[in-house]
Structure 1
Amino acid sequence: MRLQSLAIPAVLTLAALPAHAEDTGRYRLEKSPDGYVRMDTQTGAMSICQEQSGQLVCKLAADERRAFQDEVERLQGEVKTLDRRVTKLENSLTARMESKLPTEEEFDKTMGYMERFFRRFMGIAKELEKEDQGNAGKPAPDRT
């Protein structure tokens, strides 16, 4: 009885998978002596599928797995290279930023320039204001 309860879901699963694969058109499932071979029609990836505990379990084919592992290793190497470059760039940027910051003396000198500029600017603004107050009763000149 237990074997029968496992066989029915397995048959239903196997029957449904080819129909679903044909509906979407992406995967093609073919019977093989050891189980099934599933092919992704978009990428060409092949998987070996076997029935286990009433379910279809698929694993990448050996050559596909090697290609996949090679790609993973290549990408890991690329990530390490990029990490080293980022670290190098961050270190050089930090060094440049530290060397670009003004000394306390340079900062005080710059603030002195700014203070003198603003004092002169405010002096000019006050003089203009006095001139405007002195001309308050006079008509404005024609500016055409």
Structure 2
Amino acid sequence: MRTWIAGLAFILPLVIAGASNAEGEGRYQMERNADGFVRLDTVTGEMSVCTEASGQLTCRMAADERAAFEQELDRLTKRVEALEEAQRSGGLADKPRLPTDEEIDRTMGVMERMMRRFMDIVKTLEGEEEKTSPQTDQMPDKT
């Protein structure tokens, strides 16, 4: 409990400093502590504990974040398992529902009316084209 309070006393100034972060500074702020570093994401406020080993810095989630992450992972795992079980037992439809005869007839009626109107437009345009095109009985001279 005492280390938690000491850690909180260390982290509180980091959060306050992150809130007043200048525009030109980076997103993450690192502060050294006795065990390594604490990395603060100045945008989200999330903190990670980082340790240095062999010249590399390794960061891990804080305990609260880790617990939330594991709960979400467990929830998603259970959901996937339930979906897989439903698929195996036939609970999920493997085939899409085919349209009924009534739906097909209604769709075909709409398509038929559309095609008839389209063909009427084509015939009208062809008739107008014949009226406006010049009637030539002779072929022009090619010289």
- TM above 0.5, yes or no, is no
Asked which structure has the greater CA Rg, the reply is 1
Length-normalised TM-score, structure 1:
0.42
Q: Which structure has the higher relative contact order (CA within 8 Å, separation 6+)?
A: 1
Which one has a larger percent helix, Structure 1 or Structure 2? 1
